[in-house]
Structure 1
């Protein structure tokens, strides 16, 4: 006979292995009773139900003697089911522990996830009393022992970082050299075949699309699709089991092994995290965790509390201004740093959780204030996606010190410039220099700007230069989903083409975008696969395409080696030339030695005039970055840009007498050159650039 449940303690929350058993602690301010339900090894049959005996300040807790790591469990929360009052307890539905460290299976939208009777005219007002324990996903008790060996964070300075956004499954699903059984998994990403490629490319960090446990929407399952990107979180502490080659708690160790292997190679691990909403959707969504535990504590409810405030476009918004929910988010973040050793986070739709109790975005909102003072989070990278769909939700440049941001204005300006939009040159120049007009006012440096041309959401680079319009028919939403204004240009023909002139222009445009990204001040973010011309066939919203549409095609990569080599040359140049990655604002002012950190020149080799900056027809400019300025002296760099539809001849800016020749390292019409074989151009000489092309010229130190 099992020993009775003991009082235990209210902290830490979740299931914690202790001497002789496991302590459980669950927050709920509305529950009348909270039960722990234990299951057999298959997670199908309920073997024991234990009422947590104690409640301390809305935390229900108890210690279960004899319970071992690996045990499978779920929660039943007894209390009112009154959706019209914002309370949705239903003990017939097995719930996930919000603090669960592992799940026994992936979640896929199904009828068992709903707490109300589907198909009834009363909708969510009619409680469903059918027990769903057999079908429901189970939590797994985890022993966190792991041999980290000498693991240490690479601690790469933000300004020296080059991020590479990838999907764990999509990157490794077809990667040669990775054993078949490990493809698509954390262990697959830890494989030397994956790591060697990443190291060879010259990136410093992988930014992983969401790996927190998530749910597939039932609508997608019914269509034969799934939520590939994973922006539908339900487990903020658990690695998603669908990316594990091993089940349950072993998947946690597998994730740790991945981080350890990447660290050993000098690569940082950044997680894309989704704390702004959960997989439970609106009032008609499923109930798998938070809704059934304390709906009003975890979510922002509308004035009519049956409904939800939605700043995210997903049906609900997590209320991080509420102390229990804020604690959950902060505990999760610290857990991934301290226990899982990750190096930072990219936060999805951060304004949604950076809002105060009144729903206004505020630097002093509880979440932003908590992060600012946290000693654990202070040492990791914090990157915001600085927009949501709520009022005043576009906050590019609006975050406080300590934060970097995805710079949407950089993306738009660079796209506009290279598609020859009128009047794009001034904005392009500001973004190239790190966006001081956006970030300097908050006391931040260029590292605040995470520069991106393409990311998972939108066209790939290949598609950006191949399609004017989205082609999302495979998503089965009649092409209504996805952004319609992409600032893309197909170079003359929609989709794939056999026209050699269009093909050549597209390849040049890809090199233009990649080169611009890697020479811009700020932190470059490269979308995984762009360096090998990965295509989604014009789909700019492939969130539900867990198939060849989204997976990296490594056969195609073999055909794209020149572009891969081009990116490698760019990352090497960026590391070799301090002037390209300095974390200081460019002023254009002369220093004590009469040297300016930057000068802007026309094709005539003369300084740009106000008239030229204001002329909407001007599409050519050169930037001279003097390597003698700044805290790390190095070579001087000249960047020449021609976004016009005609070839031009640049007269290079005048240089002091005796200056060394310029070395042409990048010409996007030709490719890249090594230091030994780069063409030389005399100071004050001329450079011919094709239409839609750019060049990077280097002048040695001391000249």
Structure 2
């Protein structure tokens, strides 16, 4: 055990239940600040903890207290539950001297314990999918919440790793076209004492106490093999497993927090302390900040990452509040120790690394600031797309940047469009359904008088707050869901879908469900209605279109590159009149309709990814509340167009257009078109209809004729599991410079008002 300032370390051995301490063994050796010894009888199943002796001097940063049983930072498994009491604190709660006092009560009875594991597991022929970034689609979900109400999962497996690995669950996720499932924290974590006192739990899990042990509450069998089996099942289906990891802070809080592990092992080394070392630097908003700039702490974090990547075989990591991991004494540094360590590591440099690129410290907002090889959550994409479809003015210029990979942030040092992880919703904030159903957050159930959670959501209820029977409002909300999802899936960059958004899952307006281990935060499989089933099919088709058209996920940025021989550009912005958008037209604050013309005959890098001879697509978005006529542009070599998707009429058969034709861009709609052009060979196929009824296709015409019906080839797979088959039926920190629009009610078809708002951080 590493401890630079301890004077003695005792290994405490317990019975199998962890209730009775059997023996204490003093670690006899101390080499290079590591205490060590040899225990010949230790074997898998051995239950243990540590007691660490040293000075209790908070004023100089030391908080040693051997009366407190401590968890091994490298423990591979934990047993038992945390039973909170004042004995878990190194000081006497209520003492006039506060944390400067010393508590002599033994904490072992209420502490979880560490267990030695047997790592043996038969992986067989299971191989990592290694999905290329350009084809990656993330699906963010929660191990417990995803299956707690799943009708196909046996009750004893609901909410567990085994439940998530259930074949029907895996098949359903695969049927959507998801390539990579991103799991909210599964490192061992604790329920906050103050939440338990309010009858709540820490649901999300951003409260880690061990970085090697999987959270035991998600295990039906109590073995780490269950987690490995889950990974194997997803890999067999060709789906990657990404972990949301929290290396920025621990569950030990600030100077008034408990002593559970790191604080009692070597507080001055493990945590970043303020100039007055009695106190902690709090760039996380949780009370403490892990000191990753210390070599031994950095070693622990990278050892943990390698363990999960090699022994547990996960495919990548999403780093919570990742700016903290790049902080050095002078501030955030692209060449900081942790970031450099990942870049040169033979294991970590080969897995997906995703940053949440902000914290609440000075200079904490770092979107676009991470080094090559990293992808980053792009909250500017989220806010811009939400505001645009809400009908806010002056959003087209930024929308154009966001839909083309946010080159203003990421086109540097050879980074690629996939570095922008685009999302509309995430665990922290409204679900998609709630985004179009609520103007205000409704977090009363959290017990904080609705003061928690982000207030600036760029949401719009379309006329009524919450559920409604008004058919006009319901239809518009469903269309807006399609608009938002289609925009996400047809933008350059890496899309991330929040689990449940594909069928309209709701949290009843709660946008900060971190403490809701209940029906509020669990996926509501039994409440999927006809609109939900239709949305599932829409998402399957949109995902299939993205997979089948490489132009929608290019490996290089688009810059309006011109092909002088063909007379076309890789990207051209088109007005409703069918002409290229001029610089003056970009300044029109009332403009809400534009076409994005992508020409694969010019687009850099496309020919390396497809055998199609020059795919040409046009994406038309119209957030205006009225229909607009849209003339297709004159493009050299193009002889006709077909609509691949229209969010205003998702079930309508393909419309054929002449090269100089026009179509109706319905109010608040998105249309994706594909061109027929010289030299291209075009084929059509029927979309999957096994689970959700779709109209049969009419015969394919021999040549493009205006308005002739033609089914779109999506390549979507039928679901092996569909809910219909079963009987049971802290918004993250925004850019301080981004405009935020106040969520005000409006009647269907009207534009909501706006106000200036401020960013905030919630957890």
Coarse TM-score class (shorter-chain normalised): over 0.9
Q: 1:678 aligns with which of 629, 639, 654?
A: 654
Alignment-derived partner of residue 741 in structure 2: none
The match for 2:379 among 408, 420, 425 is: 408
Give the C-alpha shift of residue 67 in structure 1. Answer: 1.9
Give the secondary-structure state (helix, strand or coil) at the position aligned to 1:397. Answer: coil
Which 5+ residue runs of structure 2 have no aligned equivalent? 681-763
Q: Is the 8 A contact 1:104 1:241 kept in 2?
A: yes
For the pair 1:312 / 2:284, whether they are aligned, the reply is yes
Matched, 1:662 2:641: yes
- Mapped contact 1:77–1:90 kept (Cα < 8 A): yes
2:281 and 2:289 in contact (8 A); partners too:
yes
Q: Deviations over 1:52-107 (max 9, x none)?
A: 11111110011111222111100100111111221111111100000000001344
1:23-422 equivalence runs, <5 A: 26-107=1-82, 109-247=84-222, 250=223, 252-358=224-330, 360-422=331-393
What is the rounded CA distance, in whole Å, between the counterparts of 1:189 and 1:700 in structure 2? 43
- Give CA deviations for 1:238-272 in whole Å, capped at 9, x if unaligned: 0000100022xx1x111011101110010000000
How many equivalent residue pairs?
670
Does residue 619 (structure 1) correspond to residue 592 (structure 2)? The answer is yes
Residues 80 and 111, structure 2, Cα contact 8 Å, conserved in 1: no
Checking the alignment, whether the CA contact within 8 Å between 1:153 and 1:263 is kept in structure 2 is yes
In 2: Cα distance, 1:105 partner to 1:500 partner: 52
Question: For 1:651, which of 631, 653, 669 is the aligned residue?
Answer: 631
- Report if aligned partners of 1:72, 1:140 keep a CA contact under 8 Å in 2: yes
CA contact (8 A) 1:628 1:635 kept: yes
Q: Mark the CA change 1:106 to 1:424 in structure 2 (over 3 Å): closer, same or farther.
A: farther
Whole-Å separation in 1 of the counterparts to 2:181 and 2:369: 25
| Helix, strand or coil at the partner of 2:211 | strand
Query: CA shift at 1:108, angstroms?
Result: 6.1
CA contact (8 A) 1:665 1:672 kept: no
Q: Relative to 1, partners in 2 of residues 1:207 and 1:110: Cα closer, same or farther, differing over 3 Å?
A: farther
Instruction: Give SS of 1:671's match.
Output: coil
Using the alignment, how far apart are the partners of 2:84 and 2:468 within structure 1? 39
Matching residue of 2:727: none
Deviation for aligned residue 1:233: 0.7
Q: How far does the alpha carbon of each residue in 1:413-457 deviate from its partner, in whole angstroms, 9 at most, with x for none?
A: 111111111110000001101111111123201011110111000
- Alignment correspondent of 1:538: 509
**Cα distance between partner residues in 1 of 2:449 and 2:48:** 41
Answer yes or no: is the 8 Å Cα contact 2:58–2:100 preserved in 1. yes
- Asked if structure 2 preserves the Cα contact closer than 8 Å seen for 1:655 and 1:684, the reply is no
CA contact (8 A) 1:569 1:672 kept: no
CA distance in 2 between counterparts of 1:437 and 1:224 reads 46
Deviations 1:513-536 (A, max 9, x none): 000000000100001110111111
Counterpart in the other structure of 2:686: none
Q: Structure 1, residues 138-158: CA drift from partner, whole Å, max 9, x if none?
A: 000012111111121100001
Give the secondary structure class of the aligned counterpart of 1:238.
coil
Task: Give the deviation of 1:655 after TM superposition.
Answer: 3.0
Q: Secondary structure at the match of 2:109?
A: coil
Hey, what's the Cα distance between the residues in 1 that align with 2:75 and 2:534? 46
The equivalent of 2:575 in structure 1 is 602
Shift of 1:587: 1.5
Deviation of 1:699 (Å): 2.1
State the distance in 1 between where 2:500 and 2:547 align: 21
Q: Secondary structure at the match of 2:648?
A: coil
Q: Deviations over 1:24-59 (max 9, x none)?
A: xx1111111111111111110001111111111110
- Tell me, yes or no, if the aligned pair for 2:646 and 2:670 is still in contact at 8 Å: yes
Q: Which residue of 2 aligns with 1:10?
A: none
Match of 1:527 in 2: 498
1:113 to partner: Cα distance:
2.5
Quickly say closer, same or farther: Cα 1:158–1:65, change in 2 above 3 A: same
State whether residues 71 and 141 of structure 1, in contact with CA within 8 Å, keep that contact through their aligned partners in structure 2: yes
* Deviations, residues 571-618 of structure 1 (Å, cap 9, x unaligned): 100011111111111121212533311111111111111121001010
Matches of 1:110 and 1:444, distance apart in 2 = 50
Q: Is contact 1:109-1:216 (8 Å) kept?
A: no
Greater length-normalized contact order (CA 8 Å, ≥ 6 residues apart): 2
Shift of 1:109: 4.8
Spell out the pairing of 1:447-486 with structure 2 (5 A cutoff): 447-486=418-457
Q: Deviations over 1:317-354 (max 9, x none)?
A: 11101111111111001110011000000000011121
Deviates more, 1:380-389 or 1:171-180: 171-180
Of stretches 539-548 and 111-120 in structure 1, the one that deviates more from structure 2 is: 111-120
Distance 1:568 1:282 in 2: 46
The yes-or-no answer on 1:636 pairing with 2:607 is no
Partner of 1:437: helix, strand, or coil?
Answer: helix
**Partner SS state of residue 409, structure 1:** helix
Match of 2:411? 440
CA 656–108 in structure 1, closer or farther in 2 if over 3 Å, else same:
farther
Cα distance in structure 2, aligned partners of 1:114 and 1:188? 36
Is 1:562 aligned to 2:557, yes or no? no
* In structure 1, distance between residues paired with 2:626 and 2:158: 46
Q: What is the match of residue 690 of structure 1?
A: 666
Distance, in Å, in 1 between the alignment partners of 2:86 and 2:234 is 39
8 Å contact from structure 2 (residues 417, 557) kept in 1: yes
Identify which range, 406-415 or 583-592, moves more after superposition: 583-592
The 5 Å alignment of 1:586-597 reads 586-594=558-566, 595-597=568-570
Further displaced range: 604-613 or 232-241: 604-613
In structure 2, how many angstroms separate the alpha carbons of the residues matched to 1:98 and 1:440? Answer: 39
Gaps of 5+ in 1: 1-25
**Separation (CA, whole Å) in 2 of partners of 1:425 and 1:106:** 52
Please list the CA deviations of residues 152-197 of structure 1 after superposition, one character each: whole Å capped at 9, or x if unmatched.
1100001110000000011111112111111100011111011011
Which secondary structure state, in structure 2, belongs to the residue aligned with residue 297 of structure 1?
A: helix
- In the other structure, the counterpart of 2:480 is 509
TM-score after normalising by structure 1 = 0.94
- Name the CA distance, whole Å, in 2 between partners of 1:579 and 1:107: 51
Report the RMSD for the aligned CA atoms in angstroms: 1.3
For 1:106 and 1:134, the matched residues in 2 are separated by 10
Aligned counterparts of 1:597 and 1:655: Cα–Cα separation in 2: 12
Alpha-carbon contact 1:33-1:78 (below 8 Å) kept: yes
Aligned partner of 2:757 in structure 1 is none
| Cross-structure match for 1:9 | none
